[in-house]
Amino acid sequence: MKAGLTIVALWLAGLGAAAQFGKISVAYPSLGAAYAGYEGVWLGLMVSVVGMVGLIFGTTAGLLVARIGPRRAILAALVLGAAVSLVQSVFPPYPVMMLTRVLEGVSHLAIVVVGPTAIAATAPPARQGAAMTLWSSFFGLTYAVLFWLGPKLIEAAGAGALFQAHALWMLGCAALLATLMPTDRRATAQPGQGGLLAQHVAIYASPLTAAPAMGFVCYTVTYVAVLTLLPGLASPGWGGFIGVAMPLVSIAVSLTLGVWLLGRMPAVRLVQAGFALAVLGALGLWLAWGQGAAEAGFALVVAAALGIVQGASFASIPQLNPRPEDRAGAAGAIAQLGNLGTTTGTPLLAFLVEQAGASGLALFVLGFSGLGIAIHALQARRRASA
């Protein structure tokens, strides 16, 4: 019972971490009014700077969490996240706001590294795949809920109330996890680890710790870009449906079919199968382009396929890495390369669509899905020959 409650509490903390991005997106019009003169790129940086912290320090965070201990790390991150949200709720001067966003990036990074690591350590082996898939749903679900409830809260009580509600959520998660998570074990130095740089090299050189992240970047570069641009490119009358349905289908398939399949095949194989289905969906989307319902149907096939990839990628962390410190390193690499994908995917897809239209979109999904399959095949071959 306690293990289940701990997993749910960690997942709730993940929802809070995703809201560190989502609250800015929902409050964007209010922020534009509050920070007149900082429109365009400067205001956009307020959203993206949190991800930049993960892009630069993702793997470092994984290494530090292994040294600090997951309980101390996530409790500190949640309290920090609550504090900066309270400061943000009064819309301080732009430089102060940006400083809080950098600090929020540190908080976010610690949560998304500790979350999957602690869940993998808490879940019984038979439920590990389901627990990791539940964790993987945190980002999409948070955005769906925030864009449903956030505007109503802002209209009723002002944008500051959204930030204050987020602070209370983070403090509530900290209180739950302080009660549920076990005390951290005393960190022991591992012989031959070397410094941070040597440990970074070791993580990315290993076919065990690097494989989840190297496949995951092919997911993030594709999913975020397609979800951002496809609704605006779809046939008239179908863009709104695609924009709402794609994330919901992705989450639903991941938590149902994805979990069922994880009980019957290794996570890495399921990642490859998901990418293969995305290839078929992209081909169908290209052939059905401009045909309304058929086009929307194949867009949902792509969403379902990538939902399977998402959950199985997180499930592959504990399957490939039995030691907690290796899981922390793998989770840090996922945070780092995941942010690389979300940062680069949308402009790349925009360029391809501008040059080649529907063919560019299909080529984009085909290329990165094929790359994901190939990367996992190569890493599997390296593991087999080790």
Distance of CA 304 to the CA centre of its chain: 16
CATH 2.60.40.2130 fits 2-186, yes or no: no
Average pLDDT on 136-140 reads 80
Half-sphere exposure at residue 373, Cβ-oriented, CA atoms within 13 angstroms: 15
CATH 1.20.1250.20 boundaries in the chain: 2-186, 198-385
Give the pLDDT band of residue 63 (cuts 50, 70, 90). confident
Helix axes 324-356, 196-205, angle to 10 degrees: 70
Give the pLDDT band of residue 191 (cuts 50, 70, 90). very low
Q: Write the CA distances from 138 to 160, 193, 224, 225, integer angstroms.
A: 23, 33, 14, 18
- Separation CA 214–CA 225 (nearest Å): 18
Which residue type sits at 332? G
Q: Which token pair is 241?
A: 């449906």
**For residue 46, pLDDT beyond 80:** no
Average pLDDT on 142-158 reads 86
**For residue 192, pLDDT beyond 50:** no
User: Helices (H) and strands (E) in the chain — how many of each?
Assistant: 16, 0
Per-residue model confidence (pLDDT) at position 42 = 77
Helix axes 41-68, 324-356, angle to 10 degrees: 160
Average pLDDT on 285-298 reads 90
Q: What are phi and psi for residue 221, nearest 5 degrees?
A: -65, -30
Which residue type sits at 233? L
Between 5-9, 192-196, 311-315, 353-357, the lowest mean confidence (pLDDT) is in 192-196
Pick from 167-176, 201-210, 317-326, 355-364 the range whose average pLDDT is largest. Answer: 167-176
Give the pLDDT band of residue 194 (cuts 50, 70, 90). low
- Separation CA 330–CA 361 (nearest Å): 30
Cβ-contact 83, 99 below 8 angstroms: no
- Separation CA 24–CA 150 (nearest Å): 10
Q: Which residue has the higher pLDDT, 341 or 179?
A: 179
Q: Which residue has the higher pLDDT, 105 or 63?
A: 105
DSSP E strands in 52-102: the ranges are none
3-state helix, strand, coil in the chain (%, to 5): 85, 0, 15
**For residue 114, pLDDT beyond 80:** yes
Mean pLDDT, the chain, rounded, equals: 87
* Topology, domain 198-385: Growth Hormone; Chain: A; (1.20.1250)
Residues 6 or more apart whose Cβ sits within 8 Å of residue 17: 81, 107, 108, 111, 112, 115, 138
Between 57-61, 99-103, 121-125, 167-171, the lowest mean confidence (pLDDT) is in 57-61
Q: If DSSP codes are grouped into helix, strand and coil, which group holds residue 233?
A: helix
